[in-house]
Chain A
Amino acid sequence: MVKVEGLDKLLAEHPFFDGMDDASRKTLAGCARNECFDVGDMIAKEGQPAERFYFIRSGSVALEFHTPGQDGLIIETLHDGDVFGWSWMVPPYEWSYDIRVTELTRVTSLEATCLRKKLKKDNALGFELYSRFMPVIAKRLYSARQQLTDMYAKK
């Protein structure tokens, strides 16, 4: 069992938490868990409750859309230093795609209910966390839009 101090250290090493004050990070560490997944593991499936969100320490995962009777279509792969699973912030708190592990992956995850409780009490911490999520979301949206341009297709 990894103690909260150990989890705080793991969070501090992740780029998402760069520059966050110690007290805020320690509060978040109270909702954290250290996890490791093997190749092929499904961390999440579309439609399931989004109970955790994840910070990749090492490894890689694929975000996939599931198509009945067919293998998943990969939308994006994520790697060391990336974050996934912000469905926990948006009702109805369900995963909107599958997450499949493509190489041995170590993550630190935060439990959503625990987190929502803490953020309700501590608005400043909520603001801090949301301000960090927004650039990540904006960057992903920008990338997805670039993919939509299908820029390598024959014009």
Chain B
Amino acid sequence: MSAKAKTDPMVPELMSISVRRKELADTFTIELDPGKAGFEFLPGQFNMLYAFGVGEVPISISGDPAEPESLVHTIRDVGAVTNALSKMKKGDQVGVRGPFGSCWPVGEAEGSDVVIVAGGIGLAPLRPAIDHILTNRSKYGRFVILYGARSPEDILYMNQLQKWRGRLDTYVDVTVDHAGRDWAGNVGVVTRLIGRANFDPRHTKVMICGPEIMMRFTIKELNQIGVSKEDIYVSMERNMKCAIGHCGHCQFGGHFVCKDGPVFSYARIESLLQVRGL
């Protein structure tokens, strides 16, 4: 599998917004029109999105890799650039560089169980992997999607979660950290869902994306039930500038998150995750 940035990786390509959708109070999705050639990428890869006059940010691609005619990004408004992107409307232009980085191990996972553990906005970078697995469902064993959010109002892609749950070949469990009585689902941390998901810990690939602290808790729980480090993959976030391994901005120990990541096997970065302040 390969999908690499096309022309000069430092020059953004102009794309206009074809669809803009509000997902949550602070989160929105934009679909960009990549033109006739489409935009090929691998699940887990990201683009640098440029809001002109404000700046550039790394954002994972969250659409279906089997539908390259639309380039989808789901973004949480947290600061200057993401806020500028949030104000854009249909027809506005965004600069795009990419796709960059490593991908989720959807190829290596064939033949084993697959467990997706997502927290908050972390479901967006994992959605292309979910789409890929569902398109090629017969190549995988048990398929588990575990998702944790802050509250019922913060559940991303609610309709899609319901659709995935409605399939007879996919196990979906969702939990929130806090809820009132009008919520009939689970309350508790996402790690509590792992024990009852009923997958084979020795023949499974786990893909995790969410806040770093949530990934650490999840890995600990997975280790306890016997999933090996080599079978756990995480997506790391660090501030980025060039996205092609030149500037050193995204350095994480001896790795560059933009080039060697953002998806890493836990076995590769275990020691780094335990270093405070890295």
Contacts and interface: CB of A to CB of B under 8 A. Distances in A.
Contacts of B183: 74
A147 interface: yes
A147 B190 CA distance: 10
Nearest to A70: B180
Name the residue in A73, A81, A102, A151 with the highest tally of chain B Cβ atoms < 10 Å from its Cβ: A151
Contacts of A146: 189, 191, 213-214, 217
Interface in B185-234: 185-189, 191-192, 196, 210-211, 213-214, 217
A79 B196 contact: yes
Contacts of B78: 154
A143 B188 contact: yes
B242 interface: no
A29 B137 CA distance: 46
Q: Is the interface of B mostly helix, strand, loop or mixed?
A: mixed
Interface size class of B (residues with CB under 8 A): 20 to 34
Interface string B172-188: 00010111111111111
Contacts of A62: 181, 187
Contacts, number: 68
Given A74-B187, A75-B187, A80-B196, A147 B177 contact: yes
A151 B187 contact: no
Name the residue in B180, B181, B188, B192 with the highest tally of chain A Cβ atoms < 10 Å from its Cβ: B188
B184 A102 contact: yes
Interface in A50-70: 62, 64
A76 B196 contact: no
B150 A152 contact: yes
A147 B178 contact: yes
B191 A154 contact: no
A64 B178 CA distance: 11
B92 interface: no
Contacts of B210: 151-152
A62 B183 CA distance: 10
Given A79-B196, A143-B191, A154 B181 contact: no
B187 A143 contact: no
B44 interface: no
B65 interface: no
A153 interface: yes
A67 to B, nearest CB: 10
B110 interface: no
Contact of A154 (B26, B119, B149, B178): B26
A105 to B, nearest CB: 14
A149 B215 CA distance: 13
Contact of A81 (B26, B180, B196, B211): B196
A149 B188 contact: no
Contacts of B34: none
B76 to A, nearest CB: 8
A152 B189 contact: no
Interface in A4-44: none
Contacts of A150: 150, 177
A151 B213 contact: yes
Nearest to B220: A142
A48 interface: no
Contacts of B189: 143, 146-147
Contacts of B184: 102
Contact of A76 (B76, B188, B211): B188
Given A74-B178, A151-B214, 17 more contacts: A62-B187, A64-B181, A72-B180, A72-B181, A73-B179, A74-B183, A77-B175, A77-B185, A80-B196, A102-B184, A143-B188, A143-B189, A147-B177, A147-B188, A150-B177, A151-B211, A153-B150
16 contacts: A74-B178, A77-B175, A143-B188, A143-B189, A146-B213, A146-B214, A147-B177, A147-B178, A147-B189, A150-B150, A151-B210, A151-B213, A152-B177, A152-B210, A152-B211, A154-B76
